[in-house]
A = this chain, B = another copy of it.
Amino acid sequence: MTPKSQKHWTGDVGDLLRVGPGFRLDRVDAGATPGYGRRKRDSIDDLVAGSDELSELQERLYAASRADAAGAAVLLVLQAMDTAGKGGIIRHVVGSVDPQGVQLVAFKKPTAEELAHDFLWRIRAHVPTAGMIGVFDRSHYEDVLIGKVRALASADEIERRYGAINDFERELSASGTRIVKVMLHISADEQRDRLMDRLDRPDKHWKYNPGDVDERMLWPAYMDAYQAVFERTSTEVAPWHVVPADRKWYARLAVQALLLDALQEIDPRWPAAQFDVAAERDRLRAS
C-alpha cells in the first residue's frame, strides 16, 4: 500500500481482501475490519485524506488521457446483496472525485432490446473511455448470479458466460483498463436490520421493495452463486475482492483503498505540452 494517505492500514488491504485459490465465502466474517487498526471515529479523517489523494490521481488520469486517447482507465465493478451499501460507496467514495471524471452506470433488469442481444452487449456499450473512472452498479455478473439462482438461463449458458466474462475482462485489461471487482459482503442478519430500518422510516419507504424479501429468501442460493463466480472469474488481471460490509465505514475505506491502489499502479503523469509555451504566452499577451 503505497499512497501516503494510507498509513492507517496495518496490512495490504488488496492482498487481504483478494479472492485467491481456496477462498470460501462462508468463512468471511462480514463484521470484520481486515487491515484497519484504528477505530470507527478515526475512519472519517482517514476517508477524507484518501479522498484528497483519490481526487488528485483522478485528475492526473484524466489529464494523461488528453494527450493519449489510448490511455488508461479504471473500472470499478460493484456487486452485492440488497442494502449492502453500493449506494453509499458511490456517494461517499466515488462522489468525492470530480464528476467530470466518472462514468457511472446502474444496470437494471435488462430491457427487451438488451435481452435480444448477448448478455455482454449492453455492458460493452458502457466500458469507461480513456482517462475515466467507470463504475458499474451491478454488472454482467448479474447474468451469472440472479441468472443462475432464478434459472433465467440454462446451466450450459451459465457455464459459457463464465468463460465469456473472463475473455471480455482480459480484453478490457489488455486495452488499458484496470478492473477492480468488489463484492460488498453483509450478513443476512444485518440485511434484515437494514430492511427493517427502511420500513420503520417513512423517508426510507421509497427505498424498500417487497421483491427484496423474495430475493432474501434465496440467500443460500445467492451465496452459492457468488462462490461459483469467485471460483470461475477471479483472475490474475481481474481478481475479485470480498469487502466485509456490515460496518459501512470500513467498506468505504476499503473500496477507496482498492481504487487508490489501482490508480497508483497506473501512476498517471501530467502530459507534456503539445504546443510552444513561449509562443503561446506571446500570442496571449497580444490578445
Where the two chains meet, the residues of A that have a C-beta atom closer than 8 Å to any C-beta of B are 63-64, 66-67, 87, 90-91, 94-95, 98-100, 102, 104, 106, 137, 192, 195-196, 199, 202-203, 205-208, 210, 213, 216-217, 270-273, 275, 277, 280-281, 283-285, 287
Q: Do B206 and A66 touch across chains, with their CB atoms under 8 A apart?
A: yes
| Residues of the B chain whose Cβ atoms lie less than 8 Å from the Cβ of A202 | 270, 273
Query: A281 with B98: in contact, given A205-B271, A272-B205 (CB under 8 Å)?
Result: no
Cα separation A67 to B208 with both chains bound (whole Å):
12
| Residues of the B chain whose Cβ atoms lie less than 8 Å from the Cβ of A100 | 87, 90-91, 104, 106, 137
Query: A104 with B99: in contact, given A217-B287, A280-B199 (CB under 8 Å)?
Result: yes
| Residues of the B chain whose Cβ atoms lie less than 8 Å from the Cβ of A94 | 99
Cα separation A90 to B207 with both chains bound (whole Å):
27
Q: Do A205 and B270 touch across chains, with their CB atoms under 8 A apart?
A: yes
Q: Shortest CB–CB separation between residue A171 and chain B, in angstroms?
A: 25
| Residues of the B chain whose Cβ atoms lie less than 8 Å from the Cβ of A95 | 95, 98-99
Query: A192 with B91: in contact, given A203-B270, A270-B202 (CB under 8 Å)?
Result: no
A196: which of B63, B205, B272, B281 is its contact (CB, 8 Å)? Answer: B281
Query: A205 with B90: in contact, given A99-B102, A196-B284, A284-B192 (CB under 8 Å)?
Result: no
Query: A277 with B205: in contact, given A196-B284, A284-B213, A287-B217 (CB under 8 Å)?
Result: yes
Cα separation A280 to B205 with both chains bound (whole Å):
11
Q: Shortest 7 CB-CB distances between A and B: which pairs?
A: A205-B273, A63-B206, A91-B98, A203-B270, A66-B206, A95-B99, A210-B275
Q: Shortest CB–CB separation between residue A93 and chain B, in angstroms?
A: 10
Q: Do B213 and A280 touch across chains, with their CB atoms under 8 A apart?
A: yes
Q: Do B87 and A199 touch across chains, with their CB atoms under 8 A apart?
A: no
Q: Do A210 and B98 touch across chains, with their CB atoms under 8 A apart?
A: no
Closest to A86 in B: B100
Q: A91-B98, A100-B106, A210-B283 are in contact. List 18 more A-B contacts (CB 8 A).
A: A63-B203, A63-B207, A66-B206, A67-B206, A99-B99, A100-B104, A192-B287, A196-B284, A196-B285, A199-B281, A202-B270, A203-B270, A205-B271, A205-B273, A205-B277, A206-B270, A210-B280, A213-B287
Q: Shortest CB–CB separation between residue A83 and chain B, in angstroms?
A: 11
Cα separation A186 to B119 with both chains bound (whole Å):
49
